[in-house]
Structures are given as C-alpha cells and as structure tokens.
C-alpha cells in the first residue's frame, strides 16, 4: 500500500475528489496518509480533518532560505513515509532539490490543457481569465508529473472542456473542475498506485490494464 501526501493551499475540492474516490475503493494500492497545506487557513484542512487524515501546515514565508523550507518539507514527507506526492491546488513552486528526491513521484493537476495557459503566474482563476481573454472555444485540465519546469513535466492525462458563451472565470473554473479535474486526478493517482504509468524520453505512457 503506497502512502500518499496531498499538498493543498485552498478550498480543497480536488482533495475531496481524492478522498471520495478512496472511500469508493477507486484508489487501489494507495492511501492518503497526509494532507500538507501551504496556507494556515486553507479550507482543505477542514476536509482532511473531517476525513480523519493527519494534517501539517508548512508556510514558505516562515523560512528565510529555500534550503530550510526544502529540509522541513523533506523531513515531513520522510516522517510519514510518503511514496507519492499529489499537488492539489498547491501554490508553491517545488524546488529542484525536492523534485530530484521524488522524481516522477510528484503529480500535479493544472486547470488548462498544457502547454496552454501554464507556467509561473498561471494559477487558480488567472488560468481561466487568460483562456477567456484569448477566446479559446475549448480548454480543460491536465495531470502531469512535476519536474524542475513549472507545469513542464510529463503529461499523464488530459481532458477537454467546452468554453460556453457568457462564461465568467468562476463559471468556467467550476465546469473544468467538475468535468475534468475531479475525474482526472483520482484516475491518475490510481494508475500510479497500480504501477501503470511509465516515463521514457520525457513522456508518460499508460500501460493497458
Ligand atoms: N516544480 C514545480 N512546482 C510546482 C508545479 C510544477 O509544475 N513544478 N506546479 C505548481 C502548481 N501550479 C500549476 O499547476 C502553479 C502554482 C503556482 C504558480 C505561481 O505562479 N505561484 C506564484 C505564487 C502564488 C501564491 O503564492 O499565491 C509564484 O510562484 O509567484 C504557478 C503554477 C505547484 N508547484
Ligand atoms: N497551477 C495550479 C492551479 O492553478 N491549480 C488549480 O487550483 C485549483 C485548486 O482548487 P481546490 O483547492 O478546490 O482543489 C484547481 O482548479 C487546480 O487545478
């Protein structure tokens, strides 16, 4: 059974999708054993506590040096014997040092079809604001491994979502969450725990069941 840490910063709807999938028995071979928040007031922490999952808070601004933050993050992940790290609305860029410790063992969900609307500065509603500003007719969500490049890691799963006339960033965000993020992330975590994701030449492939 793999130990899964879910890193959060906000409302935690993607965390909730993972918790619900686990309760439905859809994440075979893995268990959420830690929720770590980058913000002390994240509602995601309440979702974890309600589900009986241990929580930790680690604030980047509490550390003067990146190395100290990295050391603390790695110590927590080691203490909980974490095998897979899931970034579910986590808004801190993970350093190369930490990425190297968990190469192809950190999964992130991004609310756009990478390589569109991604990278530094593209997070939360800002992603959907950019999509609407550009006038795209289709957007979606991407689940990918995390590497040194923000949103640049091997793509695991993607799902397209229609942009509709009259969409606001909030309406579009909700549709992308409902139709894509909350389906893709549990699926990707389950595939990882089943050992069905292989990475070669910077690309991820899914082994047939
Ligand atoms: N090494 C990596 N770290 C992280 C990745 C990644 O792909 N590689 N993904 C992000 C999540 N994310 C997009 O999916 C993302 C998060 C945050 C930002 C961003 O620009 N953040 C701001 C600060 C925002 C805040 O503190 O409220 C910033 O760094 O200036 C872009 C993309 C998680 N980490
Ligand atoms: N670049 C990262 C990023 O923008 N992540 C996005 O933040 C939101 C978190 O919502 P949640 O806390 O309700 O899961 C989600 O839409 C997620 O895709």
Q: Whose CA is nearest to atom 17 of ligand 2?
A: 89
Give 38's DSSP letter.
S
pLDDT digits (tens, 9 = 90+) for 24-58: 999 989 999 999 999 999 999 999 999 999 999 99
**Are residues 207 and 113 both part of a single domain?**
yes
**Are residues 74 and 149 both part of a single domain?**
no
Dist. CA 163 → ligand 2 center (Å)? 18
C-beta neighbour count of 192 within 10 angstroms = 25
pLDDT above 90 (res 209)? no
Residue 128 Cβ < 6 Å to ligand 2? no
Number of domains in the chain: 2
Taking the CA of 86 as reference, the closest ligand is 1
**Are residues 143 and 98 both part of a single domain?**
no
pLDDT above 90 (res 205)? yes
Q: Is the ipTM of this complex over 0.90?
A: yes
**Average pLDDT score, the chain:** 97
The residue from 68, 102, 136 where one domain ends is 102
Indicate which CATH number applies to the domain containing 7. Answer: 3.40.50.170
**Are residues 1 and 49 both part of a single domain?**
yes
Contact 16, 88 (CB under 8 A): no
pLDDT digits (tens, 9 = 90+) for 110-160: 999 999 999 999 999 999 999 999 999 999 999 999 999 999 999 999 999
**Are residues 192 and 128 both part of a single domain?**
yes
Active site residues: 110
Backbone angles phi, psi at 64, to 5 degrees: -75, -30
**Are residues 97 and 2 both part of a single domain?**
yes
* Buried b or exposed e, range 165-183, using 16+ CB within 10 angstroms: eebebeebbebbbebbbbb
13 is an annotated ligand-binding site residue: yes
- Name the residue range of residue 64's domain: 1-102
**Are residues 140 and 191 both part of a single domain?**
yes
First-to-last alpha carbon distance for the chain, in angstroms, is 19
The residue from 81, 102, 123 where one domain ends is 102
| Cβ partners under 8 Å of residue 75, min gap 6 | none
**Are residues 2 and 74 both part of a single domain?**
yes
């Amino acid at each position: 059974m793999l130990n899964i840490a879910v890193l959060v910063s906000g409302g935690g709807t993607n965390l909730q999708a993972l918790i619900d999938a686990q309760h439905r028995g859809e994440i075979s071979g893995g268990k959420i054993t830690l929720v770590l928040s980058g913000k002390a007031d994240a509602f995601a922490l309440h979702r974890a506590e309600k589900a009986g999952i241990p929580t930790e808070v680690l604030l980047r601004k509490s550390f003067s040096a990146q190395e100290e933050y990295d050391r603390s993050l790695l110590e927590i992940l080691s203490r909980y014997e974490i095998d897979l790290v899931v970034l579910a609305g986590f808004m801190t860029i993970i350093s190369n040092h930490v990425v190297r410790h968990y190469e192809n063992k950190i999964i992130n969900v991004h609310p756009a079809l990478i390589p569109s609307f991604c990278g530094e500065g593209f997070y939360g509603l800002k992603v959907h604001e950019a999509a609407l500003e550009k006038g795209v007719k289709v957007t979606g969500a991407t689940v990918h491994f995390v590497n040194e490049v923000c949103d640049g890691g091997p793509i695991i799963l993607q799902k397209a979502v229609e942009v509709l006339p009259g969409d606001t960033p909030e309406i579009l965000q909700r549709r992308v969450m409902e139709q894509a993020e909350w389906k893709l992330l549990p699926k990707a975590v389950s595939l990882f725990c089943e050992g069905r994701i292989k990475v070669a030449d910077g690309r991820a492939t899914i082994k047939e069941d």
